[in-house]
Chain A
Amino acid sequence: GNSVTQMEGPVTLSEEAFLTINCTYTATGYPSLFWYVQYPGEGLQLLLKATKADDKGSNKGFEATYRKETTSFHLEKGSVQVSDSAVYFCALHSGGGADGLTFGKGTHLIIQP
């Protein structure tokens, strides 16, 4: 079946540090990949996506590249801000008949001033 594995959190960084949150997946077919962000007390918001191999999704300074050879979709940002503190979820949609998203367990990111 489908699965998504994310690095365990919390991840604590200082403001302006470089961020990487690892995500690897197992899926049937050719999945689409997503990063969602959840701020405290809110629902999940789509951060970025990539629908095929070698695509790069980007938004708000965050980037992730769909790597089929390593089945990975790592999230990166060059200089984080306190306002980036949130929980980040990697997710996939396999497109192979199951229409729901498969989520990783989430990575809690804490940015200190």
Chain B
Amino acid sequence: DAGVIQSPRHEVTEMGQEVTLRCKPISGHDYLFWYRQTMMRGLELLIYFNNNVPIDDSGMPEDRFSAKMPNASFSTLKIQPSEPRDSAVYFCASSSGVRGNQPQHFGDGTRLSIL
């Protein structure tokens, strides 16, 4: 079975540019999560969706960040305009529920570098 698929794997762009990260969750999973990983702060939850509806976006750092889930098989995380401090690895994860026996499955991440 295909796991969580993220694209691109790597993105290098100049500050001020718009960046769009993409995620395809595992088919049948109702929950989708976006995380950011940095050396300083570790793994942070940015936002998550349930049945395509954003439930909690309190982890989104600021208005430059936005996320959408137009359908059950696709989500985007957008940064506009991008800044060097946004450089990080961004992970998408999905799960069939949020109980302990329904763990999250992670994609391989997008390594973002803002110059």
Stretch from A10-18, A69-77, A94-102 contacting the other chain? A94-102
Question: Measured between C-beta atoms, what is the minimum distance from A20 to chain B in Å?
Answer: 20
Instruction: Tell me the chain A residues, 90-113 only, with Cβ under 8 Å from chain B.
Output: 93, 95, 98-106
A51 to B107, CA, bound (A): 23
Binary contact readout A39-65 vs B (1 if CB under 8 angstroms, 0 otherwise): 001111110011110000000000000
**B42 is an interface residue with CB less than 8 A from chain A:** yes
On whether the beta carbons of A99 and B91 are closer than 8 Å, the reply is: no
**B85 is an interface residue with CB less than 8 A from chain A:** no
On whether the beta carbons of B100 and A95 are closer than 8 Å, the reply is: yes
**A34 is an interface residue with CB less than 8 A from chain B:** yes
On whether the beta carbons of B56 and A99 are closer than 8 Å, the reply is: yes
Chief secondary structure at chain B's binding surface: strand
> In the complex, what residues of A have CB within 8 A of residue B33's CB?
100-101
Stretch from B12-20, B43-51, B60-68, B73-81 contacting the other chain? B43-51
> In the complex, what residues of A have CB within 8 A of residue B86's CB?
none
**B8 is an interface residue with CB less than 8 A from chain A:** no
**A32 is an interface residue with CB less than 8 A from chain B:** yes
On whether the beta carbons of A51 and B101 are closer than 8 Å, the reply is: yes
On whether the beta carbons of B100 and A99 are closer than 8 Å, the reply is: no
On whether the beta carbons of A51 and B100 are closer than 8 Å, the reply is: yes
Binary contact readout A18-43 vs B (1 if CB under 8 angstroms, 0 otherwise): 00000000000000101010000111
Residue on B nearest A51 in the bound complex, by CB? B100
**A89 is an interface residue with CB less than 8 A from chain B:** yes
Question: Measured between C-beta atoms, what is the minimum distance from B96 to chain A in Å?
Answer: 12
Q: Which of A43, A50, A98 contacts B107 (CB 8 A)?
A: A43
Query: Which residues of A pack against B, CB within 8 Å?
Result: 32, 34, 36, 41-46, 49-52, 89, 93, 95, 98-106
A-B contacts, 14 of them at CB < 8 A, read A45-B106, A46-B104, A49-B103, A95-B98, A95-B99, A95-B100, A99-B48, A99-B98, A100-B45, A103-B42, A105-B42, A105-B43, A106-B42, A106-B43
What 8 additional pairs, Cβ within 8 angstroms, besides A95-B100, A104-B42?
A44-B91, A51-B100, A89-B43, A99-B31, A99-B48, A99-B50, A101-B104, A105-B42
